[in-house]
Amino acid sequence: MVAAACLQYSPEQLQFWLLDFKSGTGFKPFASAGTPHCRVIGLSSDVTYGLDALERLVAEMTRRQVLFKRHDVESVEQYEARRRTSADSMAPMPRVVAVIDEFQTLLATDTASKASSLMAQIVQKGRSAGIHLLLCTQSLDGRAAAIDDLRSQIKVNIVLQSSASTQRSVLDRDIYQDVQKLRRFEGLLDVDGNKVIFDVLDLPDTANQHNPNLHAALRGVPRNPLGAVPAMIYDGDCEIPLPAFAEFQELSRMVRARTGLDGIPLLAGTPAAVTDLPAYAELRYGMNGNIALSTVDDGQLETQLMAVILSICAVETVESVHIDVLQPDRMGRAWRALSRLLPAKAEVKEHGPSDVTELLGSLASGAPPSSAAHRRLLVAREWTLLESFDDRFGDGTVRTILSSGPTRGLHVIAATSTGQRLDQIHYYSARVSSAAAQKLNLLNGFNATATRRMFLETPATPGSCTEFLPYTFHEEHQHV
C-alpha cells in the first residue's frame, strides 16, 4: 500500500510516517531506498517514541488549522487550491499518513489513556487537515476497550487473517460474519459499510530489506525536484556508536544554530523522539553547570564521560580544556582507549590519593580563567570521594567548588557505577542516568525502568526527562 501510494503521488502531495512496534524490518526498504515520501521511519519503535510521534502529529494538525484561518480556507484541498493560484508564497501541504504497525503496543496499561486520546484527536479532527492514521494489528486481545472512542470515527477497515476476538473487537457484527467466509489469501475491504472481498497480494520476503521486488518498485517512485529532505530514522534496537570528533563539532554547530543555545550542548545520544537532533543538555558559563552521571555499566559510564568532554571540546569558541581526573585507577579500558583520542586543545592530568586535598583546595580558591574560552573539568569516577571529603574535613571545600566553580569556568563531572546516593544533587544541573536512577533519586519524580535507555534531566525540563539511546564505544572504533 505504501509503495503503491508513493508511485502515484509526489512527495509534495503525500508524506508517510512509518512506525513499527514489532521489532521487525518491514520498513527498512523505504529507509535504504531513501524514499522521499517517508519523512519519519521508526524501526523497532518503542512506546516513548510512538507517543512523541502522536504528539507531533497533533501539533502539526494544530499548526495547519492556524494556517487555514490565515488563508481563509477550511481544508487541505482548499489550501492547495489557494496555493496554486495565489501570488503569495505558500508552502506545499502534503497529506500525512502515519502507518503504525502493531499499534496496540501503545495501549499498554500505563500509556493507553494518553495514546488513545492522541489518536482520537487525530481521527476526529485530522481529516480536514490532511493527517490520517493507518492502524495495523494482528491482535487486540485484552486492549480492545482502549479504542472504543476510535471505532465510530474509523470508516475504512481492511481485514486479513487474524484471531476471531480481534475481528469482533474491530468489526460490526454483519461484517464479522462476512469475514468468517473468507478463504485463504482473501481479505475484506469495508468502506463505511460498503464491502469488497479481494485477493491478498503476496510479496515474497517482504521483511528482507534486500527484497528485489520491493526495491524495483521503489526505484520507480517520483523524486522531489527540489531535493528530498532526509527521513528521520529511529531504530530502538540499534547501538549508537560514539561519533568521531569532527561529527561532534558538526552536531554541536547544528544544535546551537537550530535551538539558539548560548552555552555548550552536551551531546548524549539519540533521543526516543521524532527529531534529527541528538539528546543534549546545556552547559553554561557562570551558571550552576555541573554534571552527574549514573549507570551500572562501567563501559557505558566512561563513554558518557567522554561524550561530555568531547562535546565541550567540539565548540569552536572553547580554546582549551584542562581535565583533572580523580581516582584514575578506577578508570577502565574504554576510558584509556578514548582518552588517547582527545583533540589537542584537551589536556588530561590524573591525580592519586596523595594530591587530592591540595588539588581541591586550589580549585576552591583558584582565580577564574581569563575568559569562557578556557574550561576546567574536575572528573570524579566515584562521587563518594567528593561527598566524603567535606564530611571528613568540614571546611566546605567541595561545596565551594560546586557552587562557585561554574562562574569561573570550572565544572564538576561526578559519576558512579556502584549505586551510591548523591546527597549534593542540587548542585548538578544536568543529570544523566540509567534505570539505576530510580533507587538513587537522581531524577526528580521519574520512574526509569527501561534497561537499554538512559535518561537526561536539565533545568529546562525539571521533573521530566529526555529518554535516549546512549552512545556506545568499542575499542575497534579507533576512528573517534
DSSP string for 107-144: GSTTTHHHHHHHHHHHHHHHHHHTEEEEEE-S--TTTG
Tell me the C-alpha to C-alpha distance, in Å, between residue 267 and each of 110, 298, 313, 445: 30, 19, 11, 23
Residue 124 has pLDDT above 80, yes or no: yes
Residues 352-409: pLDDT tens digits?
A: 888 899 999 999 987 766 678 899 999 999 888 888 888 787 778 999 999 999 988 9
* Whole-number pLDDT of residue 299: 87
pLDDT, tens digit (0-9, with 9 covering 90-100), for 241-263: 999 999 999 999 999 999 998 88
* H or E, element range at 63: helix 47-70
Per-residue pLDDT, 307: 94
Q: Which pLDDT value is given to residue 128?
A: 94
Please state, in angstroms and rounded to a whole number, the distance separating the CA atoms of residues 364 and 376: 12
| Predicted model pTM | 0.83
What is the pLDDT, as a whole number, of residue 129? 96
153 burial (CB, 10 Å; 0-12 / 13-18 / 19+) is: middle
Q: In angstroms, rounded to a whole number, what is the distance separating the alpha carbons of residues 225 and 34?
A: 14
Mean predicted confidence (pLDDT) in 308-323: 94
Under DSSP, the state recorded for 450 is -
Mark out the alpha helices in 153-294 (DSSP H runs).
164-170, 173-179, 212-218, 245-259
Contact between 117 and 57 (Cβ < 8 Å): no
pLDDT for 206 beyond 80: no
> What span, in angstroms and rounded, lies between the C-alpha atoms of 314 and 246?
8
- Is the confidence at residue 190, as pLDDT, over 70? yes
Q: Residue 9's CB: how many other CB atoms inside 10 A?
A: 16
Nearest to 417 by CA among 323, 334, 318: 334
CB 339 within 8 Å of CB 305: no
pLDDT of residue 191: 85
Q: At what angle do helices 397-404 and 356-365 cross, to 10 degrees?
A: 40
Tell me phi and psi for residue 10, to 5 degrees. Answer: -85, 165
> What average pLDDT does range 430-434 have in this prediction?
86
Tell me the average pLDDT across 403-419.
88
Which residue, among 383, 456, 379, has the nearest Cα to 410 in the 3D structure? 379
Q: What is the mean pLDDT of residues 9-31?
A: 87
Q: Say yes or no to pLDDT of 477 above 90.
A: no
Q: Are 293 and 415 in contact (CB under 8 A)?
A: yes
Choice among 52-61, 65-74, 161-170, 383-392 with the minimum mean pLDDT? 161-170
Tell me the β-bridge partners of 158: 189
pLDDT for res 89: 86
Q: Please check the confidence at residue 410 and state whether its pLDDT lies above 80.
A: yes
